[in-house]
Structure 1
Amino acid sequence: MKKGRLIVMTGPSGVGKGTLVRSLLNCHPDLHLSISVTTRSPRPGEINGQDYYFVDRHRFQEMVEQGELLEWAEFAGNCYGTPLIPVKEHIEAGTSVLLEIELEGARQIRRTFPSALRIFIMPPSIDELERRLRGRGQDSEDAIRRRLMRAKAEMDAANEFDFEVINDDLDFALQRLESVLYTPV
């Protein structure tokens, strides 16, 4: 049986990672999205085991200490991580697993799972990224400023990845992702 592979997607907040991931999953049922574990509280409508696995900080720390996480990071006061066992089980069963994670976690994956395919989603420009962040209408002015500063630092790391996809046009970006994922090497 052919093994699946681990596919890591990262990029700045507001770049459209979630939209691209949802589009990929809708078009390609052969992909599996890894569900992260987090210490943050569920938002309205989020379901444990479907959106995230919600745990307290003590349990999260146990998972770190027991090597149960493929990667983990603290972001905005909460911890997020990727459970290792489900990822390994899917890959061994021949299913490719998609991770949508922060830069810090993607860097950990490079060390812990070097065969992973790593893709960086880039905005067309910092001005367009700012427009998208403002258009979401969910962040304060200070939060937008912090996200943009972080985005500039993250964009400087794009060359650490196997592929860079500019999300200027959703359909074109999706086609580019599909060519990266489904073109034989």
Structure 2
Amino acid sequence: MSGRLFIVSGPSGAGKSSLCTALLSECPDLKLSISCTTRQPRPGEMDGREYHFLSVSDFECQRERGDFLEWANVHGNLYGTRQSDVEAQLQGGYDVLLEIDWQGARQVAEKMPGAIRIFILPPSLDELRSRLAGRGQDDAATVNRRMAAAEMEMSHADEATYRVVNIDFKEALAELRKFFS
């Protein structure tokens, strides 16, 4: 039996990574698709766990062969999802989760129209700004850039099959969980 493909998108700070992590810990038949990237590993990251770390030339060769379901250049680094990786998990009977941006979600949906797209939204732009600033990772200019990007990303929420507003984490997780049962 083949699994189902789920795509989770949303702006930075909406809680999509935390929700996906919680969901993956609860659902043994759900597997996270590991993306490829040309960026350097961060401390503690391992090849094949967080990402498949590729050289630019290897990435471009795979891209030219049409190996990627989706790919993007993000802040000078290339990111992509290999179709063979996703298909192997689906054929193994696993449901597969892609946590990617709206542009990647659109690319995947064009190639795999049966994919279920879920968009995670913050309760409001003010709350999103508060969450981003509260992380303490970014200066004010970076928060402002992320906010501008978030507004643009949120304008594509209606492209998703489902939308989940993350007001309360436990409630958002319960709502998200329904799509996977």
TM-score normalized with structure 1 length: 0.95
Q: Which residue of 2 aligns with 1:62?
A: 61
2:5 — aligned with what? 6
Unmatched tracts of structure 2, length 5 or more: none
Question: How many Å apart are 1:181 and its aligned residue?
Answer: 2.0
Paired residue for 1:83?
82
- Residues 6-85 of structure 1 mapped to structure 2, 5 A cutoff: 6-85=5-84
Q: How many residues align?
A: 181
- Using the size of structure 2 for normalisation, the TM-score is 0.97
**Deviation at residue 140 of structure 1 after TM alignment:** 2.0
For residue 79 of structure 1, give the secondary structure of its aligned residue in structure 2.
Answer: strand
Correspondence for 1:168:
167
1:18-75 Cα deviation digits (max 9, x unpaired): 1001100111111000001001111111111111111111111111111111111111
| 2:100 counterpart residue number | 101
**What residue in structure 1 maps to residue 128 of structure 2?**
129
One-letter code of the match for 1:93?
G
Equivalent residues in 2 for 1:137-176, closer than 5 Å:
137-176=136-175
Q: Quick one: distance in 1 between partners of 2:72 and 2:125?
A: 24
Distance across 2 between alignment mates of 1:74 and 1:125:
28
Whole-angstrom CA distance in 2 between matches of 1:92 and 1:34:
13
CA distance in 2, matches of 1:52, 1:132: 25
Aligned identity (percent) is 47
Q: Deviations over 1:77-132 (max 9, x none)?
A: 11111111121011112110000001110110121111000000000001111111
One-letter amino acid matched to 1:34: S
| Distance in structure 2 (CA, Å) of the matches to 1:143 and 1:20 | 23
CA distance in 1, matches of 2:13, 2:59: 27
Q: For residue 152 of structure 2, what is the amino acid of its counterpart?
A: A
Q: Which amino acid aligns with 2:69?
A: L
Q: CA RMSD in A?
A: 0.8
Q: Secondary structure at the match of 2:180?
A: helix
Runs of 5+ consecutive residues of structure 1 not aligned to the other structure:
none
> In the aligned structure 1, how far is the partner of 2:40 from the partner of 2:143?
22
Q: Counterpart of 1:181? A: 180
SS at match of 1:181: coil
SS of residue paired to 2:118: strand
CA displacement at 1:145 relative to structure 2: 0.7
